[in-house]
Amino acid sequence: MQNKTKSPLLLILFSAALYGISIPISKAFVAEINPIILAGLLYLGAFIGLQVLGFFRKTPANENRLEKADLKWLAGAVVVGGILGPVSLLFGLARLSGFSTSILLNLEGLATALFAIFIFKEYSGKRFWFALLCMTLAGILVSWDSAQGSFDITGLFLVMFAMACWGLDNNFTRKISNKGAVDIAKIKGLFAGTFNLAIGIGLGLLPQINSSLFFAVLMGALSYGLSLVLFIKTLEIWGAARTGAFFSAAPFIGAVLSIIFLNEALKWNMLPAVALMVIGVWLIAKEKHSHLHFHGPLSHVHEHYHNSEHRHEHARRRNKSQ
| DSSP line for 81-107 | IIIIHHHHHHHHHHHS-HHHHHHHTTH
Q: Which of 299, 289, 288, 298 is nearest to 322 (CA)?
A: 299
Is residue 33 one of the residues assigned to a domain?
Answer: yes
pTM: 0.79
81-94 burial, b at 16+ Cβ within 10 Å, e below that, comes to: bbbbbbbbbbbbbb
Q: Residue 298: pLDDT above 50?
A: no
- Domains of the chain: total: 1
Is residue 49 one of the residues assigned to a domain?
Answer: yes
Mean pLDDT to the nearest integer, 16-27? 93
Is residue 306 one of the residues assigned to a domain?
Answer: no
Mean pLDDT to the nearest integer, 238-245? 70
Position 305 confidence tier, pLDDT thresholds 50, 70, 90: very low
Q: Which of 223, 230, 222 is nearest to 181 (CA)?
A: 230
Is residue 3 one of the residues assigned to a domain?
Answer: no
Q: Which of 250, 233, 249, 235 is nearest to 303 (CA)?
A: 235
Is residue 319 one of the residues assigned to a domain?
Answer: no
Position 35 confidence tier, pLDDT thresholds 50, 70, 90: very high
Q: Residue 2: pLDDT above 60?
A: no
Q: Are the beta carbons of 321 and 181 closer than 8 angstroms?
A: yes
More confident of the two residues 109 and 312: 109
Position 320 confidence tier, pLDDT thresholds 50, 70, 90: very low
Is residue 317 one of the residues assigned to a domain?
Answer: no
Is residue 86 one of the residues assigned to a domain?
Answer: yes
Percent of the chain with pLDDT over 70: 80
Is residue 304 one of the residues assigned to a domain?
Answer: no
Mean pLDDT to the nearest integer, 26-39? 94
Position 314 confidence tier, pLDDT thresholds 50, 70, 90: very low
Q: What is the mean pLDDT of the chain?
A: 81
Q: Which tens digit of pLDDT belongs to each residue from 154-171?
A: 999 999 999 999 889 888
Q: Are the beta carbons of 277 and 135 closer than 8 angstroms?
A: yes
Q: Residue 135: pLDDT above 80?
A: yes
Residue 252 domain boundaries: 9-57+65-299
More confident of the two residues 231 and 44: 44
